[in-house]
Amino acid sequence: MEEKKISGEVVFSGRLIKVESDRVKLSDGVEATREVVHHPGAVAIMAITAEDELVLVSQFRYATGETLLELPAGVPAKGESGEEAARRELTEETGYLAAHIQKLWEGYSSPGYSDEKIAFFMASGLTRAAQRPDEDERIEVELVDMAACLELARSGTIKDSKTLIGIQLAGLWQRGEWE
């Protein structure tokens, strides 16, 4: 099951993403159109305190029109490794430094239309530093007990899929079920 690109056209190219409209040939010879959002990839950080609290951020998301509770996350700078980006984003968004950081998993955010991959990093051994959000970010830090995170997920309070995945990964890591 493979699709071969016949032709493509960039319909939008912005600061972060590029959108392409492609004609493809399916494995049975049928032609179809595929719209693809090209994204450089991202990191998400599950930072857990010594008190078993997950460090989350609350911020307004223009695309949804809502303030969402999320994992700290961001896009690696050019030439920056995933681990370096995770450390930088954690400090910028939350004001925490991590003594230990470990990549747990990487996967596609929405493969039906985007090639974005998110790498999930577990951060522990936290100490406080100065929060330094980007100029266009308004972020509030919230420390949430791991058990409460699961209830926030069940209740629908957490609506961000990367955060739901991160809570599950952090729970497995915390119980020693993910190495």
As for how many domains the chain has, the answer is 2
Question: Would you say residue 3 has pLDDT above 80?
Answer: yes
Question: Would you say residue 83 has pLDDT above 80?
Answer: yes
Structural contact between residues 75 and 84, judged by C-beta atoms closer than 8 angstroms = no
pLDDT band at 79 (very low <50, low <70, confident <90, very high): very high
What is the rounded distance in angstroms from the CA atom of residue 144 to the CA atom of residue 61? 20
Mean pLDDT (whole number) for 168-175: 93
Measure Cα distances from 32 to 1, 3, 6, 36 in Å: 14, 9, 10, 13
**82 is in which domain, residue-wise?**
42-174
Q: In DSSP terms, which residues pair with 61 in a beta bridge?
A: 66
Question: Is there a single domain that holds both residue 21 and residue 99?
Answer: no
Question: Is there a single domain that holds both residue 111 and residue 135?
Answer: yes
User: Tell me, what's the pLDDT at 135?
Assistant: 81
pLDDT tens readout for residues 19-65: 999 999 999 999 999 999 999 999 999 999 999 999 999 999 999 99
pLDDT band at 9 (very low <50, low <70, confident <90, very high): very high
The one catalytic residue among 2, 9, 51, 135: 135
pLDDT tens readout for residues 102-144: 999 999 999 999 999 999 999 999 999 987 877 887 899 999 9
Question: Is there a single domain that holds both residue 27 and residue 104?
Answer: no
Question: Is there a single domain that holds both residue 65 and residue 145?
Answer: yes
Question: Is there a single domain that holds both residue 126 and residue 49?
Answer: yes
Question: Is there a single domain that holds both residue 87 and residue 29?
Answer: no
- Asked if residue 49 is part of any domain, the answer here is yes
Sign of CA dihedral 100, 104, 106, 110: negative
Per the annotation, the verdict on 135 as an active-site residue is: yes
Beta strand segments in the chain, E = 4-13, 18-25, 31-38, 42-47, 53-61, 66-70, 73-74, 96-108, 117-128, 140-145
What is the rounded distance in angstroms from the CA atom of residue 56 to the CA atom of residue 103? 18
Model confidence, pTM: 0.93
Of 108, 107, 117, 110, residue with least CA distance to 35: 110
Question: Is there a single domain that holds both residue 70 and residue 149?
Answer: yes
Return the number of other C-beta atoms located less than 10 Å from residue 55's C-beta.
23
Mean pLDDT (whole number) for 63-80: 96
